């Protein structure tokens, strides 16, 4: 898929469907959204159940890592969670930042925002809020966050350069981000890139790892490092819903792998916005 508006609308629709289901229903279905016509959205997820602040009601099994595990959040920090869903990572971040901290979740699916706010109300948190908005144009003032986290969301954003520019803008000088995401070890074949449902399932939106890290560097971040990575194995039957057997054989022959990575980077101290040089 190449049309950004179509991509966003597709992602919004799919995640609205997921928001109206429980994690149990998602995991029980063979392909994630309650039927066998889509992608298993829980296939990348990791276990949160032993983390402080974990709330089962907020866990829809949609992540591809544990970004809070590496985010170096301190008590009193302002943390922003991009693509916050039902609030899973936001609540874990709040447990680390404490009552003196603040957590802001941003999501562009209204159903997810509603679900997250309901979960926050049940927990009685007054320092966690969820804002409806687009990661490419965040509803947040500049230099707001100490830490930004995200879990398997940035690969869904059509303009990844703009997304990282926004992360840079919103972080305080000296702040940092730690995000989990899906990348590819090489160039994905066009047959997979063009799969609409595969895009919403975090597959065809994955770009090459070196390109992903290059965008972060070009945006102005420093101290960039991959904190963790693991190869993701997707069953053939899922691929075969969208590509031919011949295309699948060619893909396997290429040796290209989908990889879950956790990436960290700092916003330099004393620097201006991207393209503006240092103050």
Q: In sequence order, what are the residues at sequence separation of 6 or more whose Cβ sits closer than 8 angstroms to the Cβ of residue 130? A: 84, 87, 90, 104, 105, 106, 107, 113, 116, 117, 120
Give the pLDDT confidence of 80-116 residue by residue, as tens digits.
999 999 999 999 999 999 999 999 999 999 999 999 9
| 131 touches 84 (CB < 8 A) | no
Model confidence, pTM = 0.87
Q: How far is residue 129's CA from residue 112's CA, in Å, rounded to a whole number?
A: 13
Percent of the chain with pLDDT over 90: 53
Sorted by where each starts, the structural domains of the chain and their CATH numbers stand as: 4-266 (3.40.50.150)
Q: Tell me: the pLDDT tens digits for 204-247?
A: 678 899 999 999 999 999 999 999 999 988 888 888 877 889 98
Cα separation, 136 vs 163, in Å, equals 5
In order of 54, 76, 92, 139, 197, the CA distances from 119 in angstroms are 12, 22, 13, 21, 28
What pLDDT, in 10s, does the model give residues 14-33? 888 888 775 555 554 333 34
Residue 266: in which H helix or E strand, if any? strand 258-266
> What 3-state class would DSSP assign to 141?
coil
Q: How far apart are CA 147 and CA 69, in angstroms?
A: 13
pLDDT tens for each residue of 160-180:
999 999 999 999 999 999 999
Give me the phi and psi of 74, to 5 degrees please.
Answer: -115, 160
**Residue 274: which pLDDT band, with cuts at 50, 70 and 90?**
low
């Amino acid at each position: 898929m190449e049309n950004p508006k179509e991509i966003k609308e597709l992602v919004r629709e799919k995640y609205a469907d997921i928001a109206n289901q429980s994690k149990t229903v998602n995991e029980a279905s063979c392909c994630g959204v309650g039927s066998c016509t889509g992608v298993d959205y829980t296939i990348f997820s990791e276990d949160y159940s032993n983390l402080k602040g974990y709330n089962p009601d907020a866990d829809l099994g949609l992540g591809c890592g544990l970004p809070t595990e590496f985010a170096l959040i301190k008590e009193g920090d302002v943390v922003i969670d991009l693509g916050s869903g039902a609030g899973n990572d936001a609540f874990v971040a709040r447990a680390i930042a404490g009552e003196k901290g603040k957590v802001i979740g941003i999501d562009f699916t209204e159903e997810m925002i509603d679900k997250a706010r309901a979960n926050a109300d049940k927990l009685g948190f007054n320092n966690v809020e969820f804002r409806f908005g687009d990661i490419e144009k965040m509803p947040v003032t500049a230099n707001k966050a100490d830490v930004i986290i995200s879990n398997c969301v940035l690969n869904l954003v059509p303009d990844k350069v703009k997304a990282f520019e926004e992360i840079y803008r919103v972080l305080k000088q000296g702040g940092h981000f730690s995000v989990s995401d899906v990348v590819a070890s090489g160039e994905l074949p066009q047959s997979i890139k063009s799969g609409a449902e595969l895009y919403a399932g975090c597959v065809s939106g994955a770009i090459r790892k070196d390109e992903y890290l290059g965008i972060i560097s070009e945006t102005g971040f420093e101290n960039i490092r991959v904190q963790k990575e693991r190869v993701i194995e997707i069953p053939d039957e899922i691929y075969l819903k969208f590509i031919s057997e011949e295309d699948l054989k060619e893909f396997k022959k290429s040796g290209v792998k989908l990889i879950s990575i956790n990436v960290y980077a700092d916003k330099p101290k004393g620097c201006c916005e991207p393209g503006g040089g240092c103050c």
